[in-house]
Amino acid sequence: QTKHTQLTFLEKLDTKLIEKCKSIKQFVMLITDLSYFAVTCIGKKNAVRRDSFIDQSYIIGAQALPIIGLVIFLIGAVSAIQSAAQLRQFGADIFVADLLAIGITRELGPLMTAIMVAGRSGSSIAA
């Protein structure tokens, strides 16, 4: 007897259906827990400690600004040097400032800020 190495259509459907059911179950459990804790926190007066929240917000947000500013500045400097060399070939080196203003402000700045805050703050919270 030879074993079938390929799954039949029904076996594939069964596998996908089980995975979807597990995902739906996890989502329902998450929503249930979130709803439960949201309702129980409303009833308690001291459920949210404002002073601790403000302290953590300061540590996570404001203290991360110097390193984020330094990294964004260095990325901007490297991008300026690289793009100026490439744009000079086409006589468009006058557009380096426009390119960096749009590129850093719209695209790279928010992305790098999010990565830096998540990495720095996540590691400090875990430590």
> Are 21 and 41 members of one domain?
yes
**Residue 114: both structure tokens together:** 């999010």
pLDDT at 67 over 80: yes
**Residue 115: both structure tokens together:** 């990565």
Residues 6 or more apart from 104 whose CB is under 8 A from it?
72, 75, 76, 79
Q: In this predicted structure, what is the pLDDT of residue 7?
A: 64
* Residue 93's pLDDT band (cuts 50, 70, 90): confident
User: Does residue 24 sit within a domain?
Assistant: yes
> Are 20 and 79 members of one domain?
no
- Please indicate whether residue 106 or residue 2 has the higher confidence score (pLDDT): 106
Question: What is the average pLDDT across 21-46?
Answer: 85
User: Does residue 1 sit within a domain?
Assistant: no
Q: Give the CA distances from residue 85 to residues 18, 47, 74, in Å, rounded to whole numbers and listed in that order.
A: 55, 57, 17
* Residue 28's pLDDT band (cuts 50, 70, 90): very high
Q: In this predicted structure, what is the pLDDT of residue 32?
A: 93
Q: In this predicted structure, what is the pLDDT of residue 5?
A: 55
93: DSSP letter: G
User: Does residue 37 sit within a domain?
Assistant: yes
> Are 76 and 120 members of one domain?
yes
Residue among 5, 109, 123 nearest 59 (CA): 123
> Are 37 and 53 members of one domain?
no
**Is the pTM here over 0.75, yes or no?**
no
> Are 127 and 96 members of one domain?
yes
Domain extent, residue 43, equals: 7-48
Q: Distance between CA 12 and CA 43 in Å, rounded? A: 47
> Are 78 and 122 members of one domain?
yes
Number of domains in the chain: 2
Q: In this predicted structure, what is the pLDDT of residue 3?
A: 54
